[in-house]
Every structure is written in C-alpha cells, then in structure tokens.
Structure 1
Amino acid sequence: MWALLVLFLPHSPQYPHPGTFSRCVRYLAFLWNLLFLLLGLLALAVGVWGLLAKGLPGEERLAPPGSDPMLLFVLVGLGASAVSLAGCLGALRSNPCLLRFFVGAVLAFAGLEVLGGLLLLAAQRRLRDALRDALLLCLLRYQEEPDLRFLVDEVQRNLRCCGLGSYRDWETNPYFNCSAPGAQACSVPASCCLDPWQNGTVTNTQCAFGALRLGDAAAGTVVHLGGCVAQLSAWLRGQAGGIAAGAAVLVLVEAASVLMALKVLRDIVPVRVRD
C-alpha cells in the first residue's frame, strides 16, 4: 500500500534544484519520520493484539469497551502513524500538502501538550483526588480486569504498599471482604506481602490469606500496612525532574521535526519571480 501511495503522489516542482545541505535535510526528515512511523505501528500492533487477546472465544469481557487501556495504544499508534506517514511521504515525494499537514499536526499536538501541562499544574489537588478515585476503581475491580490487576500488583509490589490509605481498604473489594465466600475472604492480594515469593522465584499466592482477620501488629509481619496513595504521590514528586526532562526531550523532538519539514517545504515551494 505504501508503494502505491509513493508511486501516485505527484512531485512538486522545485525551483531551483536543492543543494547538498537541502538534500541531506530532506533525507534526514524522511528517516526521522520513518523511525516514528515504525514506533507508531508498534504501539498500534500492541493495542490491537491486546484487544484481540481479550476478545478470544470463551473469555468473558466484563469491562465496557471504551474503558480498555489498550485503546490508548491504538489511538496513540494511529495518530503517530498517520502524522509520521505524512511527514515521510511529504519529504520523499516533495509534496507540500502533506508537509503542511505534518507541520500543522505536530504543532497541534505540541499545543495540546502545553495546555495539558498547564492544567495539571493548576489542578494538582483535583489531580490527587482523581488519582485516588482511579486507584479505588482499580481496587474494586481487581478480580474482574486483568489489566487493572497487573497495574495494582506492580504498584503495590514496587512501592511496598497495600490498599489506598492502608491494607484494610481491601475490605471494600467484594472478593476479599470477610463476608465473601471462598478462600480469599478476609485476605489481600499477594502483592501486599512482605515476601511474596516462594523459593525466591514463584509467587506465593496464599501469603496474605487471612491478613484482614489479624490485628495491625500481627498483619505487619505478613503484609505492608501503609497505603499506596501517599507512596505514589511521593514517587511522582521524586520523578518530577525526570518527567520535566522527558517533556523537554519531547518538545525538542517535535521542534526538530517541524524545522526539518519547514526547510524541505521552503526548498520545494516555487518562489515567485520578481518583476
């Protein structure tokens, strides 16, 4: 399909023929966008694979389709692939329409990123409340959604925490509540355990069984007592420098893409001859 697009996209006239530097920028812009095209396709493939894996026959889907985290990979992959493909073909075939679309799309994404950053700074308290609500939703649907279960287990295991404010928050989960039937009643997930491993390699899924029946002193010898909201907030504050550096790198990448596209566009757009 790409080959057909390349064949049928018309060349734009070039006045005059570009020099060595302009040709280098043109090919660099093509390779630059090709890299991000491949990354976008990879994200798209991961998202589609995740959606298809959950939709296999015999598997019950409990979450509404719009809430699936894999949709984020699909949307990001589609957006990055479309914009990067426009940049690739625009540079390769000297097409000013595609290059203008690419520049406009990148600038629009940059504007949305700046707006999102300002909103995050202006609504930090609401962000903490939203984070708490999201974690509460994860806690309530822990047994129903594999993605949420994986996320919660990773957070609790890496941050050495359990629940939102304390390990007793797991009493709100219908499967871990002490009135629930089954072996998991009055328990917490294995990721809450101080030592969740059996023989150092295999997860001991029963290490936290009956933890909610114990007092805090006895439970503290088996599971982490502290909640994850405070730990996660502290971790995010500690990662502020890395987040800022990542945002700066992203801005530089977008700026480099726009500058290369503008250089190619300037070289291929005909210049009016003065009278």
Structure 2
Amino acid sequence: MGFFTGSADRPLDCKQEDKYFLFLCNLAFTVFGLMVLGLGMWGLISKESFAQERIGSIGTDPMLVLVSLGFLLAVLCLTGCVGAIRENSCLLRLFSGILLILITVQVLIAIMAYSMQDQIEVYLRSGMLAAMAGYQDDLDLRFITDEIQTNLQCCGADTYRDWETNIYYNCSSPGVLACGVPATCCVDPLDNGTVWNSQCGLGAQRLDEFTAQSTIFLGGCIGGISRWIEQNQGLVGAVAVVVLGVQILAVFITTRLLESINWHKMHA
C-alpha cells in the first residue's frame, strides 16, 4: 500500500515537498536548540560555575537543564535535518524513533500529572520551602523565589512568616536580617519610586498582620501559583497539544518520506 496517485503500485510523488519541509522545520528547531544551549552556557559562565571552588556543585546547577535540553534538541533536529536533505534512511529512522519515544514519554507525563493533581500543591509547597531555605546561599534559588514573589505579589509559601525557616531570616539569627523578609515581599520596594530598597522587609515578621499589610504582601505564593495554574490551564493545554501535534506531524512526514525514498530505490 502507501500514498497513491493513479497507479496501484506507485506512491504519491511528494518526496521533494516532504524533504524540504522536514529540512526547513528541523533547521529552525536546530537553531532554537543552539540558542537554548548558548543561553545555558552563558548562565554557567556568568555565574562562574566552572571555577575550581564551584565545579563540585555544578551537577545541581539549574542551568544544566537548559544546556541539556538545548543540546538534545539541536542534535535531534540536526539528525532530521541531515537525514531529510541527504535522503538518508538510517538518520530518518533514528529521528522518527526518538520522536516516537519522546511523544510516548510526554503522554505518560501528562497522564501522571493529571492523576496526581491533588498532590501537586504538596510538591509545590515543599519546593517553595526548600528554595526559601537556600535563598541566601544559592543564586538560582534566590532568582526563582524573587521572580515568583514579585510577579505573584506574595511572600513565603503560605504566609510571610514562613521565612522563619531560613537561618538568616529566622528570628533567633544574630544577623541584621533576623525576623525580616526579602525585599521582593515588599508592597513598594522602591525609595521615592526609583531606588531599590533592599532593607524594606527588615523586622517584618515581628509585625502583626494588620500593621504588616501596609509594608509587605501577607499571602503566600502557593495560593498564587495554584490560581495562576487554574487561570492558564487552557493556554497550557493548548500549547501542549500544539507541541505534541507538531511532533506527530513530523513523524508522519518522515514516515511518508521514508516510504517514498524506499520506493524510488526499488524502482531506480
């Protein structure tokens, strides 16, 4: 069987269209993968993660996620790119096989996420508390925590008093940060609307909620994250469907190109 025109044994002559479409799509994603890889490498270099005193902990650096994803995406799409333009059946089969594995993994992850949605909040809370505990010692955790608190206008996991879990912000700490919260918890962290005031959250945990509400955000970030997920679940689902659909289309076109290549080889 196959893709037919008027002949019972000749597949539809769409090899050139499939080849160049697959080549251009994979070329675009190869460039994107290299950009992600470059961004990850830039992050590692800018943080001096390759310095001798920090090289031992590089395995836990979040920037490695970008490096790994960028590298894998670039290699996979370059395989499809070369396989298409060279009409190399081995590379095309490898490309198609890896895509099928990725599609399967993504579907399984989606099923697991749906079945475990009641536990997601528990994982979010434990992750947020862990990020808060390492806030002062890890630049990545600080950046992530600050972004969440700034964008969602929240403070802590469930309440601003959660910052007690951090050894520097703990009320028993001897430092100047004792019983305080980060500046990203502040309602207005700018002095005169222009200068960043890093000390606006000092002593905030000593204040009662009525007094503190004029200075910092009282609500925790877990509720804000949950609301964001609920409000954007349609968009997230649509993006996931589009990404999955593009991968399925790539497998379909690769399979059709392989069939056309094999037919031409047999009848050359």
User: TM-score, with normalisation over the residues of structure 1?
Assistant: 0.87
Q: What SS does structure 2 have at the residue aligned with 1:92? A: helix
Cα drift, residue 161 of structure 1 = 0.8
Q: 1:63 to 1:272 in 2, by over 3 A?
A: closer
Which structure 2 residue ranges, 5 or more long, are not aligned? Answer: 1-9
**Structure 2 residue aligned with 1:91:** 84
2:110 alignment counterpart:
117
2:215 to 211, 216, 222: 222
Q: How does 1:64-213 map to 2 (within 5 A)?
A: 64-213=57-206
CA distance in 2, matches of 1:261, 1:58: 44
AA matched with 1:216: E
Give the distance between the partners of 2:50 and 2:76, measured in 1 at CA: 35
Distance 1:246 1:169, change over 3 A: same
Q: Partner residue of 1:45?
A: 38
**Residues 257 and 58 (structure 1), Cα distance of their counterparts in 2 relative to 1, 3 Å cut:** closer
Deviations 1:220-268 (A, max 9, x none): 1100111111111111111110110011110121122112212221221
Matching of residue 32 in structure 1 with residue 25 in structure 2: yes
Q: Which stretch of structure 1 is more off in the superposition, 153-162 or 195-204? A: 195-204
- What is aligned with 2:3? none
2:220 aligned partner, one-letter code: G
SS at match of 2:214: coil
User: What is the identity, as a one-letter code, of the residue corresponding to 1:105?
Assistant: I
Pairs aligned (count): 258
Deviations 1:88-139, CA, capped at 9 Å, x for gaps: 0000101000000011111110100000000011111222211111111100
Please give the TM-score of this superposition, normalised by the length of structure 2: 0.89
**In structure 2, how many angstroms separate the alpha carbons of the residues matched to 1:196 and 1:110?**
45
1:172 partner letter: T
Q: What is the alpha-carbon root mean square deviation over aligned residues?
A: 2.3
**% identical aligned pairs:** 41
Bigger shift: residues 240-249 or 175-184: 175-184
Report the counterpart of residue 262 of structure 1 in structure 2.
Answer: 255
Asked if the contact 1:193–1:223 (Cα under 8 Å) also holds between the matched residues in 2, the reply is yes
Letter in 1 for 2:20: Y
Work out the CA distance in 2 between the residues paired with 1:148 and 1:26.
44
Q: Give distance in 1, aligned partners of 2:155 and 2:248.
A: 42
Distance in 1 between residues matched to 2:133 and 2:28, nearest whole Å: 40
Q: Which runs of 5+ in 1 are unaligned?
A: 1-15
| Counterpart for residue 12 of structure 1 | none
Opposite residue 255 of structure 1, the aligned amino acid is I
Deviation at 1:269, TM superposition (A): 1.3
Could you give the per-residue CA deviations for residues 157-209 of structure 1, whole angstroms, max 9, x where no partner exists? 11111001100010111111122122211110011011122333432211111
Q: Is the 8 A contact 1:54 1:61 kept in 2?
A: no
Change (3 A) 1:260 1:202: farther
AA at the equivalent of 1:241: G
